[in-house]
Amino acid sequence: MTMALPSLDARRAEAGEQFRALGVPHRRIEQWKYTDLRGALGDARIEDEGSASWNIENLPAGIELFDLSDAGAPEWVSRNLGATRDGAMDAASLAFARHGLALRIRHAISEPVRLELSGEGHLRVMVLLEKNANLTLIESGSAADFRNVGTEFMLEEGAALSHVHVTPGSHEAVQVETISVYLRRNALYRAHFANFGAKLSRADVHVKLEGEGARAELSGVSVLPNGHADVTTHVEHAVGDTKSTQLFKYVAGGKSRAVYQGKITVADGANGSDSRQTAKGLLLEDRAEIDLKPELEILADDVKCAHGAAVGDLDAESLFYLRTRGISEREARALLMRAFLEDAVAQIEGEDSRAEIWRAVEAALAKADAA
């Protein structure tokens, strides 16, 4: 069933109007309470397309790539790009981005794709995984100022996407990304969000489990020596027999602010849905802040939904125990912080990716605990 869509240009124009009607999100909007984007941007002209660009060092064979700045989008791009909208910032990226890329995967690709984003302004990313296709996508890149990315992942039946999303530490970056994921029957989206603190950063992840047997496994670690990190997830169980997990761990030092908002929606009739969410924070300093906000909206009867959120300090009892074993206070703190993050990092698929994130985590922990 293909619905007739307006042309890409018409969709872009409509998105522009949508953005102007909604405006830049600010802290009086409930979902942006802890992340005042308007405050961070000030009077910056955000409708400029900017210099934002992307790079893939080595594109593995078997992947079709379309550069969105080129003319003549193929049918698989024009049919899917921006077909639905996910809030003001997603609309802005669709309306104003002139650069970006679309990938089409039709088989299992064993080699990871490393997507490096750079520059400021708006970018658009689309990845289409066709039936039973398989991909690992590692996305990273800091910004010197404001960058807004709108990303769509479409997973057809039996497709699997493993996504590692890294936000490197930065004092200047205001990074916003809206990630919309659509999963058909038996598709799997695994994602890990590693964030090391920007001036302001927000990853808005919206996962729609639209086919039976579809699964989403979301995890993340944020280690903030300073700055701000917000990962907001919304998992929609649109049909039954779908599964999702969310495991997020935060370590906040300095004057940082770490935010996790996790919404789970189970649609009417989506019986047999299974969802588990855990969010935990570790505060290293009194001046740091961690905001964890779980939200459940369950309209079906027969579902499994569990969630838990907790914020605490490093356990004094454990620290003392380790020190009596000869481990210095500094090393003991590092050991406990690592241990705290362990299960979330363990969610990352691939030993190389895990090791890479551990290195970044350890460097950030050392900075966060330096005070």
Partner 1 sequence: MMLEIKNLHVTVDGKEILKGLSLSVNAGEMHAIMGPNGSGKSTLSYALAGRDGYEITNGRILYNGEDLTAMKPEERAAKGIFLAMQYPVEIPGVTTMNFLKTALNAQRRARGESEYDAVTVLKRVREKAGLLKVSEEMLKRALNVGFSGGEKKRLEILQMALFEPSLAILDETDSGLDIDALKLVAEGVNALRSPERAMLVITHYQRLLDYVVPDRVHVLSAGRIVREGGKELAKELEAKGYEQIVKDAA
| Contact of 130 with 160, CB cutoff 8 Å | no
**343-362 mask for partner 1 (x: CB under 8 A)?**
x-------------------
* Closest CB 338 distance from partner 1, rounded Å: 7
* One residue of 69, 301, 321, 371 binding partner 1 per CB under 8 A: 321
C-alpha distances (whole Å) from 204 to each of 148, 158, 229, 325, 370 are 11, 24, 11, 43, 30
Based on CB atoms, which residue is closest to partner 1, 110 or 328?
A: 328
- Among 310, 339, 355, 371, the residue binding partner 1 under the rule CB under 8 A is 339
- In sequence order, what are the beta bridge partners of 198? 228
Tokens coding 162 = 């493993």
Question: Quick one: which of 48, 301, 313, 331 contacts partner 1 (CB under 8 A)?
Answer: 331
d(CA 274, CA 209): 11
Which of 305, 318, 347, 356 binds partner 1 (CB under 8 A)? It is 318
| Residue 199 or 323 having the CB closest to partner 1 | 323
Could you tell me the smallest distance in angstroms from the CB atom of residue 354 to partner 1? 14
Position among 22, 298, 309, 322 found at the interface with partner 1 (CB under 8 A): 322
**HEC states along 40-52?**
HHCCCCCCCCECC
Written as six digits, the tokens of 45 are 């002209």
Please give the Cα distance from 95 to 20 (Å, whole number): 10
Residues 276-315 that bind partner 1 (CB under 8 A): 315
Q: What's the token pair of residue 42?
A: 């000030």
DSSP string for 248-311: EEEEE-TT-EEEEEEEEEE-TT-TT-EEEEEEEEEE-STT-EEEEEEEEEE--SS-EEEEEEEE
State the Cα–Cα distance between residues 354 and 340, nearest whole angstrom: 15
State the Cα torsion 72-182-125-119 to the nearest 10°. Answer: 160
Taking CB under 8 A as the binding criterion, the range among 2-10, 64-72, 216-224, 341-349 that sits at the site for partner 1 is 341-349
Q: For residue 260, which of 241, 244, 247 has the smallest C-alpha distance?
A: 247
In whole angstroms, the minimum distance from the beta carbon of 282 to partner 1 comes to: 12
Least CB distance to partner 1 at residue 95 (A): 44
Q: Which CB, 163 or 249, lies closer to partner 1?
A: 249
How many of the chain's residues bind partner 1 (CB under 8 A)? 24
Shortest distance (Å) from residue 75 CB to partner 1: 49
| Nearest distance in Å: CB 320, partner 1 | 5
Among 328, 350, 352, 371, binds partner 1 (CB under 8 A): 328
Residues that bind partner 1 (CB under 8 A): 315-318, 320-329, 331-332, 335-336, 338-343
